[in-house]
Amino acid sequence: MAEVRQIPLSFVSPHPKLATRLRLDAGSLAALIRQSVGEDVPNGQLEPGRVVPRQEGKGYYAYIGVRRLRALASLFEETGDERFSVFNAYVDSDRSLLDLFLRVRSENEDGRGERVGLSTLEKIFGLNKIGGSIPPGRLDDEMRRELSVAERLDERRITRLFEVETASHFRFRLEHLERLCQMEDARELYESAACIAGLAIPPERIEGAIQGRDSAPTFRWFGTLFPEFKAKPERQGAVITPTTADRAVAGVTERKGEGTTTASVQRHLEVHEADVILVPCPECGVENMLQARLEAEVVRLSPDPEAASLTAGAEVVLSCALKCVDCGTEFGAFIKPLGGRRFAVEASLSTRFREPGEELEAIDLRFDFEKGVWQKLEGEKVVGLVRTRGKAREVRV
């Protein structure tokens, strides 16, 4: 069995081709390492990393445990304590770049402890780094699809899509990225991505988000991430002829000229969501939008195999851990179906089970792109707005 080696930090650096993380925050891990220092673990590193020798000479590349490496380097720079000047790691050799990459993915596939699982975008980022080193036939179907996306998105575009994920608290799925990577025009790509992420559009509705991409600037973070696209482009001399589908989605105004008729179409994505439960964050009060789909029944079987069974509806409570879409606070939501569109709901900073007490009715919503707000509907009538920002961030509409 391989032994763990203590390698001076000056001899170790992250592997340049095996990066998967688009953001690597080592602050919380550094605090944990500092607390873990003891007689058995002098440097506080509870789990060894893995390194490979550098081909060009002295030293090693870390490919597993890069966050631990950075946390130790931060502690050593801050304290000057020699205990933090070494990195504990296994030394691997005679492995292909793809084998090392697959091991990195396996280590980070699921989050555990301080480790957060890789997103689809981070998997694609990793494949982008080693794309030219992958032998044909070594990947499964899903990884081949990921590689196809990685070959069409450069590192800058991947990084900017990650910024959209971070700002919107949304993670793109592979189907989203397969469609987005087909776009050569940068504005089309980022506006479409913003609409998908900002409205949490599922893959089966992606084309609607692309058609409504002109509404991307209504998201408060879009102008910060993409100042170059904040202003809408001028479309002089363009005549848009609306199709039947366009007329169903967009508002069409007829303008009659000398013997001609043209149409001015505002292509805004018409987003409706039905049967939405609004659960307020117990920290900031923002209304988090949920849809609950649950049917449960209990069947009592008779001792007589030929006798009829008895079926009854089951009284159940849905329990889920949520993160507030505005302040990021993690809280527990407990939802009990009461029949029809009625639910009992409870939100708590504790995730320990509790019987939901507040009764409410699910509602229908529509997004107003001009004002950038979700509207509460009764039939076609707007009866209020969804509160999507906390007190410190509230804006008038």
Segment 206-223 mean pLDDT: 88
Provide the Cα torsion 232, 233, 238, 242; round to 10°. Answer: -30
Q: Distance between CA atoms of 328 and 114, rounded to whole angstroms? A: 18
Q: Distance between CA atoms of 233 and 194, rounded to whole angstroms? A: 17
Tracing tokens 């870390």 back to the chain, one arrives at 62
Strands 297-300 and 310-313: antiparallel
- 3-state SS class at 135: coil
Rg (CA), the chain: 27
At 6 the pLDDT is 92
Q: What token pair was written down for 30?
A: 């550094």
At 262 the pLDDT is 36
pLDDT at residue 37 tops 70? yes
Q: Distance between CA atoms of 86 and 153, rounded to whole angstroms? A: 37
- Closest to 390 (Cα-Cα) out of 285, 289, 290, 288: 285
Is domain 5-118 classified as CATH 3.90.1530? yes
251: CB partners within 8 A, 6+ apart: 265, 266, 268
pLDDT at residue 94 tops 70? yes
**End-to-end alpha carbon distance in the chain:** 65
Q: Among 70-84, 118-132, 271-285, 306-320, which stretch is predicted with the lowest mean pLDDT? A: 306-320
3-state secondary structure 365-388: EEEECCCCEEEEEECCEEEEECCC
Choose between 266 and 388: higher pLDDT.
Answer: 388
At 131 the pLDDT is 77
Contact 284, 326 (CB under 8 A): yes
pLDDT at residue 239 tops 50? no
- Residue 46: which pLDDT band, with cuts at 50, 70 and 90? confident
* pTM score, whole prediction: 0.57
Bridge partners of 253? Answer: 264
At 78 the pLDDT is 92
Segment 326-346 mean pLDDT: 88
At 225 the pLDDT is 94
Residues of the chain with CATH 3.90.1530: 5-118
384: CB partners within 8 A, 6+ apart: 375, 376
Choose between 180 and 351: higher pLDDT.
Answer: 180
- Residue 251: which pLDDT band, with cuts at 50, 70 and 90? very low
Q: Distance between CA atoms of 146 and 23, rounded to whole angstroms? A: 20
- What value does the mean pLDDT of the chain take? 80
For CA atoms 194, 197, 200, 204, give the dihedral sign. positive
- Residue 260: which pLDDT band, with cuts at 50, 70 and 90? very low
At 241 the pLDDT is 35
pLDDT at residue 200 tops 50? yes
Strands 342-348 and 12-14: unpaired
